[in-house]
Structure 1
């Protein structure tokens, strides 16, 4: 794994030491000797993670971290504070500033490298989602950076802990801070509850009786639904090797027993905030993908979706020697609707037309809007004779009742012409099927419209 790490320290000897550790693991290192210089490097996107000293002249590390986390452009940049300060109050101050971790000097090289690798993996995943979500702005959707500094309050948390006294202390501490906490002592039952969710965070004790807490963490990471769910583990102070292993497995953060309440709240708040931001990004990506294949006016799949999936349906029908039929629909005299009543009325007709078609065909049939007033229905496992009956049923349903326009104030009679083609079994392609359906459609129009015409294979 390679990444660019920014080391910020005003002492050249400290920079050299950290640089040597990171270079040995093939990380690229950039350096800064003060806060403003570090902020400038981060603003230009020149690093993937920041190792930040606290005691620096002018702007200290806490303030640098606070500014990074308050800027939507750098809020998701992982920050590890590295300092000689080792008091609980110092650790809390760093976590409240938004730091992802707080390591004290002298630095344990194994712990440092493992933590860096874990956070770099998270940064890589976040970057990938950000790139995909950025396409949303081109589609007129919300900028993915909006809300980058999400709230970490009132999280939904599952605690997996079988020690009654520790469980009650954690639950009470989190509940007092406004989080909603479910507690579970059985790890297998916990896995079912996590999968059913939704949770912002799961807290797992590593010293569960008769069960390895790391195995539960691994199981959480193996499920598609929970693969990105933040995991915070509770470990004993002498379990460094298990923590390192946990970070390798994808654990996001940890607490050492005995648990400091304020540190727990700070770490939980950070993980809940990150969970919500990642969820926002995933929703943005899914919506962007949906918009890319969906017609915004009718809610049907669009031409792009048809082009990508019709070939697969045709191939599948050929391999299984099954029938497949295609209906090409064109609303009669639609141009006159727009010219006479306006485009809003035309949109009303298109939406209602789509609803009637969808209600007429099967759920397994693929209904797409090609553009304008043209639509396609692809019907797997359907012979030409049955498809013609379905086409006739669509035609009747469209013509049976007038369409309401202008907010229901006026009615408009609408008819449709339909061309039909079916797989002939002689090397048909999507293009040949659509071409024959198009030829049949034009014949239906020439013969007087408001009818179904079948192509001759």
Structure 2
């Protein structure tokens, strides 16, 4: 615990910093979350109080190992780290090295606290390890809060950018009407399925499906109803899939299932479950009429003799689908 003298000294430093005092707003909402790492309790308390007075949330660690454990536990909660260089056990440099090895924490900005302006080696070494800035002791709380604010803003901006990029990537994979993956994403996932099958010597299969007489629904009831039929069909598809299976809207009223660790017969079982699901719940149109939504399906499985390759799989499933439609629709055909 801090002694009364240590607390008084820290309060005096905070109170005498006129520049910082002008910026103090105790009611400011948190603008960032910072991990403060220092084995010196008085120094750590000074930093924590200064940041708190600037509306910055803080976490504390009294040594390097505790700091690394904190980052490992919840890296997404930390916007920046204020890290003392000289500590027993893990030094600040070693802490940086450990943190940079944590994928989710590698981009957290780290500000080093070093003993004096003469410690140029500490500064150079810290930058080489990945620190973005440094603060000299004795600490100016105005400089401290300004640098930490800037680091938090940078960290949050980068996090928003990564989120936006990830959202854009995901959005590009999704069919906006049905919420299923789209054709572009199917082309990458089938390559992944082929590679997985080669590694584990397991078959995989695809089921290509085309809704029967869908044009008549659009012509009779309009495209809005047709879109609703597609979304209901997509919901039925999701309900019959295993966790490792993936469904795609291939285009128009055509859909594809990608079934891992699945041969042609098991793929047919999935398609039959979907048929039963649709027959059990006919679609009800606005005028009160009902229709069972049916589909034709073509199945093709990757063959071990061909190294579980995927190059011909789509054309084979498409050929099987054509046979199913030519034979009268509402049926399943194998390649």
- Give the TM interval when normalised to the shorter protein: 0.7 to 0.9
Cross-structure match for 1:231: 110
Does residue 89 of structure 2 align to residue 210 of structure 1? yes
Aligned residues of 2:64 and 2:89 also touching (Cα < 8 A): no
Distance in 2, matches of 1:282 and 1:369, equals 27
Report the secondary structure of 1:173's partner residue.
Answer: helix
2:125 pairs, out of 231, 234, 245, with 245
| Structure 1 residue 285 displacement after superposition | 1.5
Paired residue for 1:415? 294
Distance change >3 Å, CA 375–CA 236, structure 1 → 2: same
User: 1:368: which partner in 2?
Assistant: 248
Match of 2:326 in 1: 446
271 and 316 in structure 1: CA distance in 2 versus 1, 3 angstrom threshold: closer
Q: Indicate the RMSD between aligned Cα atoms, in angstroms.
A: 2.7
Pairing partner for 2:70 from 149, 168, 193: 193
* Correspondence for 1:162: 39
Larger mean Cα displacement after TM superposition, 231-240 or 286-295: 286-295
Give 3-state SS (helix, strand or coil) of 1:254's partner.
strand
Residue number in structure 1 paired with 2:236: 356
1:197-216 per-position Cα deviation (integer Å, ceiling 9, x unaligned): 32111111112223211110
Residue 337 of structure 1, CA deviation: 2.6
Tell whether 2:266 aligns with 1:386.
yes
Paired residues for 1:77-96 under 5 Å: none
Secondary structure in 2 aligned to 1:430? coil
Post-superposition CA distance 1:383-402 (Å, at most 9, x none): 22221111100111123213
Q: Out of 135, 145, 148, which is 1:265 matched to?
A: 145
Instruction: Name the SS for the 1:225 alignment partner.
Output: helix
Q: Give 2:184's aligned residue.
A: 304
Deviation at 1:271, TM superposition (A): 0.7
Offset of residue 322 of structure 1 = 2.5
Alignment match, 1:50: none
TM-score (norm 2): 0.83
Q: Which has the higher contact order (CA 8 A, sep 6+)?
A: 2
**What secondary structure does 1:395 align onto?**
helix
Which residue of structure 1 aligns with residue 7 of structure 2?
A: none
Correspondence list, 1:38-437, <5 A:
154-195=31-72, 196-197=74-75, 198-237=77-116, 238-318=118-198, 320-403=200-283, 413-427=292-306, 429-437=309-317
Q: Secondary structure at the match of 1:325?
A: strand
Instruction: Report the alpha carbon displacement of residue 433 of structure 1 after superposing the two structures with TM.
Output: 1.8
Secondary structure in structure 2 of the residue aligned to 1:376:
strand
Hey, what's the Cα distance between the residues in 2 that align with 1:403 and 1:191?
Answer: 57
Distance in 2, matches of 1:208 and 1:172, equals 21
TM-score w.r.t. the length of structure 1 is 0.62
Aligned 8 A contact 1:395 1:451 in 2: no
Question: What is aligned with 1:9?
Answer: none
Q: How many Å apart are 1:172 and its aligned residue?
A: 1.0
Give the count of matched residue pairs. Answer: 309
C-alpha contact (below 8 Å) 1:152/1:273 kept by paired residues: no
Specify the SS of the correspondent of 2:131. coil
